[in-house]
């Protein structure tokens, strides 16, 4: 790999760039971003080696698209229009069904691999990029059979070198499952933060009592709305289904409290403790 193009030089794209540069010191990383300040910052931090634009994509060996999913729907077909037959293009979006559908009939569909690395933090922008973000993380790949085998191998070798675990899934199943384990978590954090902020307007000391439990639970509410709003839009059906189930569980818990049935409150929490076993080993 000689020429790596990163479209979107924030946390996800920037972290890919840092690790690829560590693995392949001789490669050159080009950055494309709609925000000029991000490109300047990425250059200053050594995340990219040079600014670029779409006109230069013909010389890319690898193109990584790390932008909001609504923008990916528009950008991905244009990227495929411009890359050579030997280039592998993958995105890192948190939804897959709409993105796969938009390039289903593209003449260079074989150059695209639908990817979702389950990694990240609540921070954004080039300064949020960190080394080893993807080490030991799961990377979900959808519709692998639609990608040229030689290009699959190139991408899979990169993911292996980054220390990622691979899981294959169809786009529809991916979007349904990720609504529960990721998208719902972010909504919960945003709404918990909103609830406390609304209350704090009347009770000014509330944040003085907020401990590490609150901080860890609401951490995801610091995530970028510009990234998450399009995700909720694209995965609306699955997210609404997840919300319905979550709201029903909250209502049930509230009803148990109102009924003074704290034995059942205990039982509900004890049953849920099993999640410790499910999540064992996840970093």
Positive/negative CA dihedral, 111, 149, 97, 30: negative
Is 18 inside a domain boundary? Answer: yes
Domain that holds residue 178: 174-278
Residue 214's pLDDT band, with cuts at 50, 70 and 90, is confident
Number of domains, the chain: 2
Q: Is residue 222 located within the same domain as residue 142?
A: no
3-35 exposure pattern, b = at least 16 Cβ within 10 A, e = fewer: bbbbbbbbbbbbbbbbbbbeebeebbbbbbbee
Is 235 inside a domain boundary? Answer: yes
Residue 51 clears pLDDT 80, i.e. is over it? yes
Is 283 inside a domain boundary? Answer: no
Final residue of a structural domain among 169, 199, 232? 169
Q: Is residue 38 located within the same domain as residue 137?
A: yes
Residue 218 clears pLDDT 90, i.e. is over it? no
Give residues with Cβ within 8 angstroms of 280, minimum separation 6: none
What is the rounded distance in angstroms from the CA atom of residue 224 to the CA atom of residue 121? 10
Q: Is residue 19 located within the same domain as residue 137?
A: yes
Final residue of a structural domain among 135, 150, 169? 169
Is 142 inside a domain boundary? Answer: yes
Residue 188 clears pLDDT 60, i.e. is over it? yes
Is 32 inside a domain boundary? Answer: yes
Is the model more confident about 94 or about 218? 94
Is 191 inside a domain boundary? Answer: yes
Q: Is residue 152 located within the same domain as residue 272?
A: no
Contact indicator for 239, 232 with CB cutoff of 8 Å: yes
Return the CATH number at 96: 3.40.50.720
Q: Is residue 144 located within the same domain as residue 258?
A: no
In the three-class reduction of DSSP (H, G, I as helix; E, B as strand; rest coil), residue 56 is classed as helix
Q: Is residue 196 located within the same domain as residue 75?
A: no
Q: Is residue 17 located within the same domain as residue 133?
A: yes
pLDDT of residue 207: 66
Q: Is residue 190 located within the same domain as residue 104?
A: no
Q: Is residue 33 located within the same domain as residue 155?
A: yes
Tokens of 78: 């244009």
pTM: 0.89
Q: Cα–chain-centroid distance for residue 192?
A: 21
Q: Is residue 63 located within the same domain as residue 158?
A: yes
Q: Is residue 206 located within the same domain as residue 151?
A: no
Q: What percent of the chain has pLDDT over 70?
A: 96
Q: State the DSSP H helix or E strand holding residue 150, giving kind and residue range, or none if neither.
A: helix 149-161
Q: Is residue 155 located within the same domain as residue 128?
A: yes
Final residue of a structural domain among 122, 145, 169? 169
Return the CATH number at 221: 1.10.3660.10
What is the rounded distance in angstroms from the CA atom of residue 69 to the CA atom of residue 94? 7
């Amino acid at each position: 790999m000689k020429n790596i193009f990163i479209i979107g030089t924030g946390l996800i794209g920037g972290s890919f760039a840092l690790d690829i540069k560590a693995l392949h010191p001789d490669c050159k990383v080009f950055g494309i971003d709609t925000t000029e300040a991000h490109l300047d910052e990425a250059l200053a931090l050594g995340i990219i080696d040079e600014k670029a634009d779409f006109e230069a994509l013909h010389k890319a060996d690898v193109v990584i698209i790390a932008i909001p999913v609504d923008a990916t729907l528009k950008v991905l077909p244009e990227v495929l229009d411009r890359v050579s037959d030997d280039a592998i293009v993958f995105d890192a979006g948190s939804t897959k069904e709409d993105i796969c559908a938009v390039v289903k009939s593209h003449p260079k569909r074989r150059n695209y691999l639908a990817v979702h690395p389950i990694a990240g933090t609540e921070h954004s922008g080039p300064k949020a990029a960190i080394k080893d973000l993807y080490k030991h993380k799961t990377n979900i790949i959808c519709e692998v059979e639609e990608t040229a085998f030689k290009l699959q191998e190139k991408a899979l070798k990169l993911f292996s070198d980054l220390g990622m675990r691979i899981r294959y899934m169809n786009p529809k199943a991916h979007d349904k499952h990720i609504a529960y384990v990721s998208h719902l978590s972010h909504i919960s954090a945003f709404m918990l933060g909103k609830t406390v902020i609304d209350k704090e307007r009347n009770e000014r000391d509330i944040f003085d009592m907020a401990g590490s439990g609150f901080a860890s639970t609401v951490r995801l509410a610091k995530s970028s709305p510009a990234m998450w709003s399009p995700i909720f839009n694209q995965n609306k059906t699955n997210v609404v289904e997840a919300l319905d189930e979550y709201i029903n569980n909250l209502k049930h818990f509230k009803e148990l409290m109102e009924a003074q049935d704290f034995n059942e409150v205990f039982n509900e929490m004890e049953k849920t403790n099993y999640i410790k076993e499910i999540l064992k080993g996840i970093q």
